[in-house]
Amino acid sequence: MAIADVIRRGYGGQIRQVVTRGFWNSALPPVLIEQLPDITVKVNSGVYTFALAPYFAGETSFSSSTLAAGFTLNTSTGVLAVDSGAEVAGTYGPYTISGINSAGTTAGNAIHIKLSNSKVSADLRDYFD
């Protein structure tokens, strides 16, 4: 078991956090290491996926509050899929994504998913290292 995970986020890959894990056989609930972002996609433009696992440490699975039609969370990988054609334009949520392991559950912050009629400009640095 790793004693710590180094979390690289931001510009230039600088180290922003070191998240310690339990020693040897001790178990700790998952840790939310960074706030989950709100998501905006253009309506009727395809299916988008967002990896939410990097925002947690120590999780073995995920759960979510009830999602709108067309929004699905893979509870094994933490990937949120948003089908932009399944709902009309609008803001949906708030939704809570949680990390789970044998020691407990840690809820993330509430997020919103917006389906927009206008062009969407995304800063992908928010989603990928």
Instruction: Say if residue 94 is preceded by a cis peptide, omega within 30 of 0.
Output: yes
Residues 6 or more apart whose CB falls under 8 angstroms from that of 85 comprise: 43, 44, 45, 46, 70
- In whole angstroms, give the CA distance from residue 16 to residue 10: 8
Q: Select the more confidently predicted residue: 28 or 3.
A: 28
- In whole angstroms, give the CA distance from residue 52 to residue 67: 15
- Which residue, among 30, 12, 24, 4, has the nearest Cα to 104 in the 3D structure? 30
Q: What percent of the chain has pLDDT over 70?
A: 71
| pLDDT tier for residue 13 given thresholds of 50, 70 and 90 | low
| pLDDT, mean over the chain | 82
Min mean pLDDT across 23-27, 74-78, 94-98 is at: 23-27
Break the chain into its structural domains and give their ranges: 28-120
| pLDDT tier for residue 99 given thresholds of 50, 70 and 90 | very high
- If one looks up domain 28-120 in CATH, what number appears? 2.60.40.10
